[in-house]
Amino acid sequence: MVSEIDLFNLEDPNSIIRKVVGDDELIDISELAQRRVQIPVGYEIKELSIENGESKEISSLVEDEIKKFVNEGYPDNIYTPIYEAILNAYQHGNKRDPDKKVRFAYHLGESHLDILIEDEGTILNSTFVPFILKHRESDVKSKYIDFYKFARKEKPKANNGTGTSFMHAYMDEINYYLGEHGLMVHMVKNKN
């Protein structure tokens, strides 16, 4: 289990919250005075090379792991937050660069599943900060929040903007860290 201070912790003077000074600024999380989090020993790790970010491509890269999770008693919809986190890492973190990797790591425990998705990007738009805080404070399980509507930005595609909401809706816990290579998303799904 990752035990570092979350990048969005409001109490930490070195957090991303304290770095934000205005709308639409770019924040380089590598400049924060935070230790880089490593994938813990004992986690299964898969480096993903993504060429085009199509659903079928991402699905084929993680289908064996998804089957394993479902066979261990996790719901079929466990695919959705994993897919969305990987897609976000590819699109936003790696800026669709096929030479950059997305790391997919997991630990399948008795009572919960830990999933880590790490990209090779360190730049976040400051608008993402209140968007994450909104997810942490509200019931996104009953209402999905569209990032582009929230940020009052034009959507690049009709189906963009709800991936982070799906991640928060389907997982029991989500935290964000500065990983070895870029942004790391830590998702936990409890076994019901």
Q: How far apart are CA 157 and CA 103, in angstroms?
A: 25
Positive or negative CA dihedral for 65, 66, 68, 69? positive
Q: How far apart are CA 146 and CA 161, in angstroms?
A: 5
**0.85 exceeded by pTM:** yes
pLDDT digits (tens, 9 = 90+) for 156-174: 876 788 899 999 999 999 9
Q: What letter would DSSP give residue 5?
A: P
pLDDT digits (tens, 9 = 90+) for 132-144: 887 887 766 666 7
Residue 21 has pLDDT above 50, yes or no: no
Q: What letter would DSSP give residue 152?
A: T
Say if 6 falls within a structural domain: no
Q: Which residues contact 142 (CB under 8 A, 6 or more apart)?
A: none
Give the domain extent around 143: 16-190
Say if 1 falls within a structural domain: no
Amino acid letter, residue 12: D
Confidence of residue 18 (pLDDT cuts 50, 70, 90): low
For residue 120, give the CATH number of its domain.
Answer: 3.30.565.10
If one counts the domains in the chain, the total is: 1
